[in-house]
Amino acid sequence: MSVISADFPIYNPPMEPYISVIYQDADILVLDKPSGLLSVPGRHPALADSLATRVQKTYPKALMINRLDKDTSGLLLMSLNRKAHAKIASQFEARLTGKTYVAVVSGHVSDATGFIDLPLAIDQNNKPRHRVDFENGKPAQTRWEVLEYGENITRLRLFPITGRTHQLRVHMKALAHPILGDEFYADGETFNAADRLLLHAEELTFNHPDGREVIFNSPCPF
């Protein structure tokens, strides 16, 4: 990986499509974020470009409701007014939304379904990485189901019950099946097995501010 300095990687976010809107009304924007683009801008000026920054050029009042890691692709939700933001954000906080991801991991996961309940905390000596931490970690739970097997890989559908930073990535590593292309949690061979992180936010379910349940999908690109 090329670097500007020893600890600052070059950021070259994809430009096409600049913004991919799946759904829009007076209250919300549902967007499909590509891998490699930040959800919100970073602190360093070189990290100013993000999905939120791009959207706010057209919709200055738009606010991010949920986020994805830079290298994760898929569904993101933004509000277009304060009332809508409050109604939907409270659902995420209360774990009343449905989130489904697809991942390709190293090795063959032995069980067809499973549940991970491991608390997570930031690794203070290795930021921005996170780790399983039974003393100081916050509760984190993930369900999974096997979709198919390949040559020493498994395609999974993941259901995060909580929404901790790097939750799915750390949980898959803890399961001894890191996600392909994961620069933080995979070994060299698993990282080099894909040209991007093979993690995609496929489906999102929540109650629209008008009261109806809505479901949005983004086809997995890998």
In whole angstroms, give the CA distance from residue 35 to residue 71: 4
Given 32, 69, 71, 182, which residue is catalytic? 69
Torsion over CA: 135, 137, 139, 144 (sign): negative
The band of 4, judged by pLDDT with boundaries at 50, 70 and 90, is very low
From residue 215, give the alpha-carbon distance in Å to each of 14, 28, 83, 99, 193.
27, 13, 20, 10, 32
How confident is the model over 168-180, as a mean pLDDT?
98
Instruction: Give me the pLDDT at residue 10, please.
Output: 85
- Structure-block tokens of residue 29: 């924007």
71 is catalytic: no
Instruction: Give me the pLDDT at residue 7, please.
Output: 55
What domains appear along the chain, each with residue ranges and CATH number? 1-94 (3.30.2350.10), 98-209 (3.30.2350.10)
